[in-house]
């Protein structure tokens, strides 16, 4: 990246750090670094230049995107409730919805859906003990 122009996107950043730790030179010559985070604190710690708050998708749009990516399998009785929980865990974030939906596309194995739900809850820090 040295000497050339670049666009670096850091997605799902949970805490701030200096990008030089990654070996990225300071964004000069019109280069850009985009930081995507659920927390403004991470952006502040990274001394970002401009912060833009993006709202999560509304439920209707999230559901439409999920259905488009999973196929009609989410309307099957054994899958339907688990699928709605999986969608909730995606938090209205389009990249999660599209990626997870595509990974589960047309999969009618409820066990796979349950495993996915458990993995998502672990990733977001939700456990049986701290669920309200």
Name the pLDDT band for 126 (thresholds 50, 70, 90).
low
Q: Which residues pair with residue 107 across a beta bridge?
A: none
pLDDT band at 117 (very low <50, low <70, confident <90, very high): very high
For the chain, the maximum distance between any two Cα atoms, rounded to a whole number of angstroms, is: 56
Q: Return the pLDDT at 129.
A: 44
Is 128 a residue whose pLDDT tops 50? no
pLDDT score recorded for residue 4: 76
- Reported as a single tens digit per residue, the pLDDT across 2-60 is 677 888 888 878 888 888 888 877 777 778 888 888 788 888 888 888 888 778 899 99
**Rg for the chain, CA atoms, rounded:** 18
pLDDT, mean of residues 100-113: 96
Q: Is the pLDDT of residue 69 over 90?
A: yes
pLDDT > 90 in the chain, percent: 45
Instruction: Judge whether 107 and 74 are in contact, CB under 8 Å.
Output: no
pLDDT at 19: 80
Q: Structure pTM?
A: 0.67
H-state helical runs in the chain: 40-45, 59-70, 77-89, 94-103, 110-124
| Separation CA 54–CA 36 (nearest Å) | 10
DSSP state of 38: S
Q: Rounded to an integer, what distance in angstroms lies between the CA atom of residue 100 and that of residue 96?
A: 6
């Amino acid at each position: 990246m040295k000497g050339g122009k670049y666009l670096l996107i850091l997605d799902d950043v949970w805490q701030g750090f200096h990008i030089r730790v990654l070996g990225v030179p300071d964004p000069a010559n019109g280069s850009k670094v985009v930081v995507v985070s659920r927390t403004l604190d991470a952006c502040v710690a990274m001394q970002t230049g401009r912060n833009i708050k993006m709202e999560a998708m509304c439920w209707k749009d999230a559901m439409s995107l999920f259905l488009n990516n999973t196929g009609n399998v989410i309307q099957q009785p054994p899958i339907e409730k688990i699928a709605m929980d999986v969608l909730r865990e995606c938090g209205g974030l389009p990249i999660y919805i599209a990626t997870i939906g595509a990974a589960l596309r047309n999969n009618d194995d409820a066990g796979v859906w349950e495993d996915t739900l458990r993995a998502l809850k672990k990733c977001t820090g939700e456990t049986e003990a701290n669920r309200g």
